[in-house]
């Protein structure tokens, strides 16, 4: 089955009833008010109840201050019919809280102050509203537009007396038919979604004062700067397998991180909406009048951005990250969800992939081709065709007769192998993995309690329930060398199709009414499915080495916290210039939401790139965190030496530059791991006061030292580079041998005041480069000074963590002296 055939099996996107229901609630005075006599304070939190003036149902509000300038607001039903879903496993621990105290109380207003009194929370009772202030300035407010929305759990209509099925949503809906609102069931073409617990949607609005630049909430093929949604669709967070995804579309694709950042010259703030169900985000930026008294009254327009979050189910659990800098936001988010795992060094080299390398001879021929053309590479990949009939953890006995010997051959060449392991399991009683999982009850169920069966690459398939910790442990055990036959310690893993992708279902994904561990419906956990598979896979690779070796796992689907388990990529892109262009803001967005280890398929997965596009993509990919060439089985072969000697030279040079740069790149990954600093950074992050950088997405900083401007236009002879800031910017001198007439490389500049460590030359792979010497490139600032760092460890084990076996140097150039400590 081809990808094109696969696409024809599913339906186009669903009509979102949660959006229609919540949009019936218009901005205005909120119907919720605070019951001030219910306020209680403890060392951990402030709690109180709010009541809806019409339906009289109570909600419980909890407010926490967390160490490090973070506030958490939780809203749940005070007495739900049954517990509502609260996202587990994403937070690395229960956050450490600080005591809030009441600093002011008057009729209808309660002011909570933080310990250091830098922050105040003003709670207005009627209507319910929360305003967060920093040193007297309002930074953000919640429910100021009155859009708090909470659908209460109800008994099914057959179990209760006839009443309005959803008073909040339906009260203004005389023109809307009840079934159109999708309260208890919804139809998408021939697909039926039965909502066993009825409507459970939640939502609320936030106003960001003084901000008109907002970013984040990946993943989609969209600009860096988030757009107003007032005239169209909301941004959607719902992990989907979308082949050849459209550019400039707000629909979600493979991954979701519900983190939004807002920036202005004086402050960066963040909102982390912890909810794993389908989520929509509406954004509206406008100017509001502010009166200032300076001798005479003056009025000026101040930007205000309203952000409305709407989720299908769960509770409201939101973290307000107060910065005040972008780097503070990154640390705050990592404090909650973890930092980027430190990858093994080989995984920062170049990866060669195709759907599919045919057999052992093909693998050896491609491997030999890199040596014959003097092009470094570290990893060759095998897609689904390497298995026995799409049965994962197996080998095709005709094409791969001796996979262990093949791996030994690669190991002697100091290279690695990555194989694909997808979440769907072929329905075949003779397939050990299926038989064991079936017997143990480890598959997701349908709404009738039977194993959910869907169509995927093997045909009829069942889907492992990775939300179950017992399933994750069992799955991790499958990677043991004795269980995964013919696997060796150079074999690493690629988790694809884990949105999860299900052919012949609505939107090519699992039915929302499928049932997971602890009887939670799929609608509750959808965006966590790939996160959990990558977690289990990473654990399996660690466990097979008795905890000694770092794993490498690439996953297509992700959520907040996926950075702890490995790398992600942007999915099934197309071999067109526009996809090269959009890959930059896509990767910058993923980086600013915690996942530094990300990349886009070099050359485009779908179609056949013209040689110029392929060369430009290699040049761009060489300066991005994850560097992999990949193509579809329907594409022509495109190993780097197949496009003529001139293009081979250019691709060779790009890949060799990557290998020379590895000491700097590995040091950046250590900083991402230790201090939550993104590897690839939008310009505004490094130059927060420079307004002209706020919407720049065609160039970026790699770490704090290198300014990279990929060439993304066909037949471009020149590019216009923005040099922000007042620092002296110097060209990265490794290119000093380039003749002035050279127009076929991309501009990379070194920032004045920095020192970057490099290798003096590239080797055949990262392991070949251990004994190659280092050099330092020093670019001086206006005071003729510079600083930089180098991190070195063994590149593969956890000894850096357990035994503190690493080298970490700081270089300083001052008064014409270079020193190291």
Residue in 131, 422, 507, 572 annotated catalytic? 572
Q: Compute the Cα dihedral for 214, 217, 222, 224 and give only its sign.
A: positive
* Contact residues for 765 (Cβ-Cβ < 8 A; gap 6+): 346, 349, 376, 377, 378, 413, 414, 415
Residues ≥6 apart with Cβ < 8 Å to 157: 165, 184
Around 147, how many Cα atoms within 13 Å sit in the side-chain half-sphere? 24
**Tokens 């860096």 sit at which residue?**
224
**Contacts with 714 (C-beta within 8 Å, 6 or more apart), sequence order:** 577, 612, 613
Q: What is the dihedral of CA 607, 572, 244, 455, to 10 degrees?
A: 110
Q: Per the structure block, which two tokens stand in for 33? A: 């008010």
The answer for residues whose C-beta is within 8 angstroms of residue 336's C-beta and 6 or more apart is 70, 91, 92, 95, 272, 319
Task: Quote the tokens at residue 768.
Answer: 């070949």
- Two tokens at 396? 């095709």
Question: Which of 179, 154, 152 is closest to 54 using CA atoms?
Answer: 152
Bridge partners, 271 (sequence order)? 260, 320
CA distances from 99 to 41, 136, 522 (A): 9, 20, 37
Angstrom distance (rounded) from CA 3 to CA 633: 9
Q: What's the Cα-to-Cα distance from 419 to each of 459, 490, 625, 726, rounded to whole Å?
A: 20, 11, 20, 47
CA angle 786, 787, 792 (to 5 degrees): 145
Cα 485–chain centre separation: 33
Active-site entry in 241, 306, 317, 499: 499
CB atoms within 10 A of CB 427: 17
3 state DSSP class of 573: coil
| C-alpha to C-alpha distance for 319 and 327, rounded to whole angstroms | 17
CA angle 721-722-725, nearest 5°?
Answer: 145
DSSP 445: B
Strand blocks (E) in 135-234: 137-142, 149-150, 185-188, 191-194, 202-209, 213-216
3-class DSSP state of 668: helix
DSSP 784: S
Of residues 168, 193, 378, 496, which has the active-site annotation? 496
For the packed helices 645-675 and 611-621, what is the interaxial angle rounded to 10 degrees? 30
| Residue 496 is a catalytic residue | yes
Residue 43 falls in the annotated catalytic set: no
CA nearest 100: which of 127, 73, 124?
Answer: 73
Token pair listed for 471: 């399933």
Backbone angles phi, psi at 366, to 5 degrees: -65, -45
Whether 499 is catalytic is yes
Select from 521, 520, 504 the least CA-distant residue to 453. Answer: 504
Catalytically active residues are 496, 499, 572
């Amino acid at each position: 089955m081809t990808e094109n055939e696969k696409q024809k099996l599913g339906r186009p996107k669903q009509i979102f009833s949660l959006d229609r229901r919540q949009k019936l609630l218009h901005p205005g005075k909120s119907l919720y008010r605070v019951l001030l006599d219910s306020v209680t304070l403890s060392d951990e939190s402030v709690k109180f109840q709010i009541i809806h003036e019409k339906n009289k149902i109570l909600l419980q509000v909890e407010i926490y201050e967390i160490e490090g300038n973070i506030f958490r607001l939780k809203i749940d039903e005070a007495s739900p019919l049954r517990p509502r879903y609260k996202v587990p496993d994403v937070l690395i621990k229960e956050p450490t809280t600080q005591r809030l105290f009441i600093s002011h109380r008057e009729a209808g207003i309660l002011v909570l102050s933080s310990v250091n009194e830098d922050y105040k929370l003003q709670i207005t009772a009627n209507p319910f509203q929360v305003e967060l202030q920093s040193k007297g300035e309002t930074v953000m407010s919640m429910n100021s537009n009155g859009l708090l929305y909470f659908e209460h759990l109800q008994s099914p209509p057959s179990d209760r007396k006839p009443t309005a099925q959803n008073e909040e949503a339906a009260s203004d809906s005389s023109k809307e038919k009840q079934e159109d609102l999708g309260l208890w069931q919804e139809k998408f073409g021939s697909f039926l979604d039965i909502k066993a617990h009825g409507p459970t949607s939640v939502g609320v609005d936030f106003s960001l004062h003084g901000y008109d630049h907002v970013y984040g909430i990946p993943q989609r093929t969209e600009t860096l700067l988030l757009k107003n949604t007032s005239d169209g669709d909301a941004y959607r967070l719902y992990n989907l397998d979308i082949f050849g995804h459209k550019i400039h579309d707000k629909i979600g694709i493979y991954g979701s991180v519900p983190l939004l950042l807002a920036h202005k010259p004086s402050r960066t703030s963040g909102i982390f909406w912890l909810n794993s169900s389908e989520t929509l985000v509406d954004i509206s930026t406008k100017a509001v009048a502010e009166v200032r008294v300076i001798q005479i009254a003056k009025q000026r327009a101040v930007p205000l951005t309203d952000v409305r979050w709407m989720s299908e189910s769960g509770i409201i659990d939101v973290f307000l990250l107060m910065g005040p800098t972008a780097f503070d936001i990154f640390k705050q988010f990592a404090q909650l969800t973890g930092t980027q795992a430190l990858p093994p060094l080989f995984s920062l080299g170049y990866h060669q992939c195709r759907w599919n390398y045919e057999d052992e001879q093909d693998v050896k021929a491609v491997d030999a081709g890199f040596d014959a053309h003097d092009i470094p590479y570290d990893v060759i990949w095998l897609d689904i065709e390497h298995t026995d009939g799409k049965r994962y953890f197996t080998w095709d006995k005709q094409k791969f007769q001796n996979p262990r010997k093949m791996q030994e051959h690669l190991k002697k060449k100091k290279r690695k192998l990555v194989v694909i392991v997808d979440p769907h399991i072929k329905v075949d009683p003779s397939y050990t993995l299926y038989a064991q999982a079936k017997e143990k009850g480890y598959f997701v169920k349908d709404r009738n309690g039977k194993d959910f069966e869907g169509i995927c690459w093997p045909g009829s398939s069942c889907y492992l329930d990775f939300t179950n910790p017992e399933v994750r442990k069992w799955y991790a055990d499958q990677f043991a060398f004795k269980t995964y036959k013919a696997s060796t310690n150079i074999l690493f893993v690629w988790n694809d199709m884990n949105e999860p992708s299900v052919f012949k279902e609505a939107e090519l994904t699992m039915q929302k009414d499928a049932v997971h561990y602890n009887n939670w419906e799929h609608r509750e956990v959808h965006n966590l499915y790939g996160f959990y598979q990558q977690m289990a896979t990473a654990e399996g690779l660690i466990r097979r080495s008795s905890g000694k070796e770092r794993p490498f796992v690439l996953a297509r689907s992700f959520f907040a916290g996926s950075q702890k388990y490995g790398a992600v990529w942007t999915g099934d892109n197309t071999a067109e210039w526009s996809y090269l262009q959009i890959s930059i803001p896509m990767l910058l967005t993923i980086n600013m939401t915690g996942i530094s280890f990300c990349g886009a398929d070099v050359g485009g997965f779908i179609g056949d790139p013209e040689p110029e596009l392929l060369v430009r993509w290699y040049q761009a990919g060489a300066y991005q965190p994850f560097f992999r060439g990949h193509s579809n089985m329907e594409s022509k072969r495109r190993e780097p030496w197949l496009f003529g000697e001139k293009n081979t030279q250019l691709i060779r040079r790009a890949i060799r530059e990557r290998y020379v740069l590895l000491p700097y790149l590995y040091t950046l990954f250590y900083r991402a791991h230790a201090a939550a600093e993104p590897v690839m950074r939008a310009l505004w992050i490094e130059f927060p006061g420079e307004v002209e950088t706020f919407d720049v997405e065609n160039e970026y900083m790699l770490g704090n030292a290198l300014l990279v401007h990929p060439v993304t236009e066909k037949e471009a002879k020149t590019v216009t580079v923005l040099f922000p800031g007042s620092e002296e910017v110097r060209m990265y001198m490794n290119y000093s041998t380039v003749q002035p007439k050279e127009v076929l490389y991309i501009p990379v500049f070194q920032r004045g005041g920095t020192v970057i460590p490099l290798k003096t030359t590239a080797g055949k792979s990262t392991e070949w480069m251990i004994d190659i010497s280092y050099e330092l490139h020093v670019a001086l600032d206006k005071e003729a000074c510079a600083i930089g760092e180098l991190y070195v460890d063994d590149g593969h084990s956890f000894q850096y963590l357990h035994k503190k076996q690493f080298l970490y140097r700081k270089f300083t150039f001052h008064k014409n002296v270079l020193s190291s400590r």
